[in-house]
A and B are shown apart, each in its own frame.
Chain A
Amino acid sequence: MRRLLFALAFILLIASTWIGLTQGQIVPVQRNILYAHVPNSVCALLCFVVLLLASIGTLISGRQAWDLVAVASAEAGFVFATILNATGMLFSRAEWNVWWTASPRLVTSAILWFLYAVYLILRASLPGSQRRRARICAVFGIIAFLDVPLVFISARFIPDIHRPNFSFDSHWQTMALMLGMAGTTLLAAALIWLRTSLLRDGVDLEKQLLQ
């Protein structure tokens, strides 16, 4: 099932790239990075929503399964946030001739990356019982999520050099973006699933070794 999900994600992503490079090319050429940039930004935010839900689940039920989902989504989200900022910088350099500028959306994307990075560092540095660590990370996940609405709001409603509403010339371009969106979302789901089950195996192994 998980392999199927990965395979489907890759097929969709390859289809998206193929259409984007042939029928759906955008002029000038650097704007084609949008096919990678937009789906990755959406997934970086989606992973944070999963992190929030898993954190709330940890606090309410106290079950370790929720905690593992939270870590997995933080790890996946960190990767997507890194790609989001990296592709954004490449585009920015080609389009506006600067690698980075302090515009609201660029600042908030950087904040998103920092939140993921600190979550992972915090998790790695907390000693003590697994339950206590899970609870503290859940508290950080919830408080950090209070910063995320800012990212949403700035990406939609604030005048900026960064334009969210891209107007497409052809259906091919819309199709390439939609395929990319679907493929990346599936990839995110498969990655979170894979990491969660790997982490669970690790926990089981530790239990067996202790016995």
Chain B
Amino acid sequence: MSQLWLGLRAIIIKDIVVELRARQVLPTMVVLGMLIVFILRMASEPGSTAIGGPVMGVAALWIAFLFSGLLAQERSFAAEQHNGCMDGLLLAPLDAGTIYLAKLLANVIMLAIFEAIVVPITLIAFNLHVAGGWPRLAAVLLLGNLGISSVGTLFSAAVQLTRTRGSLLSIVVLVILMPMMIPATFSLLVLFGAMPEEVGGSGTLAFVGSFKAAIGYMIAFDAIFVVASWLLFGVVVEE
């Protein structure tokens, strides 16, 4: 246990120190996120479309998270390609799963910092009111963050040697995350007061049903993706 903890801590601190010194990813992520939010904000000017602020705001938030998250995940293993760093990591007396967990946590921290900056900006831009309370908003965002980072971190290691790594990573991660975006959208719409807590009928969002069920689905997706990626990571990095 202490071995696992030491390894985890060492890799996470290394990644964060590298980011603090080089400032390669986080500024790009934040600016990309803000650009996505503002471009969607321009498209949802009252009068030009009938779509309400909360719907566009939720769309902007998740699209910004997905694409900025992809930037962080792609960098997290691209940075290891120089000077044989990846071989060094794999030679360390650590389980491959531990390396995965450390990289995952580093990416979750990066995306959490990103969320702390971009969410308030989105709330202001779309004039959103958090009717469902801040703790619940934080919980939904963290669950989404964990899900996005889990799949992204696994496949980032897989696509490193390809010519088209960024675009390949984006389609692989987005297609796996598609089902998770249904409860994720639902829960944010509830929190911004655009939808009642329980929905009936026959649409995709009624499929989720209630806010509680949405949280349950997201926890289930996170658990499945994290455990499966943790188990399969060794297979992906093996030469």
Contact = CB atoms under 8 A, between A and B. Distances in A.
Interface of A: 59, 102-104, 107-108, 111, 114-115, 117-118, 121-122, 125-128, 132, 135-136, 138-140, 142-144, 146-147, 150, 154, 158-161
Contact of A118 (B175, B203, B239): B175
A111 B204 CA distance: 13
A118 B159 CA distance: 13
Contacts of A140: 155, 158, 172
B158 A139 contact: yes
Interface residues of B, number: 31
16 contacts: A102-B203, A104-B202, A111-B175, A115-B175, A121-B168, A126-B158, A127-B163, A128-B161, A132-B239, A136-B236, A139-B235, A142-B232, A147-B176, A147-B178, A154-B207, A158-B207
A-B pairs with the 6 shortest C-beta distances? A104-B207, A118-B175, A136-B158, A102-B204, A114-B175, A139-B232
Interface of B: 151, 154-155, 158-159, 161-164, 168, 171-172, 175-176, 178-179, 182, 202-204, 206-207, 224-225, 228-229, 232, 235-236, 238-239
A31 B61 CA distance: 41
A84 B182 CA distance: 22
Chain B residues touching A, majority SS = helix
Contact of A126 (B162, B175, B176): B162
A161 B178 contact: no
Contact of B204 (A104, A115, A117, A125): A104
Chain A residues touching B, majority SS = helix
B178 A111 contact: yes
B224 A125 contact: no
B164 A143 contact: no
A169 B17 CA distance: 71
B206 to A, nearest CB: 8
Nearest to A137: B158
A96 B41 CA distance: 33
A125 B163 contact: yes
A127 B161 CA distance: 7
Given A136-B236, A146-B225, A147-B178, A118 B162 contact: no
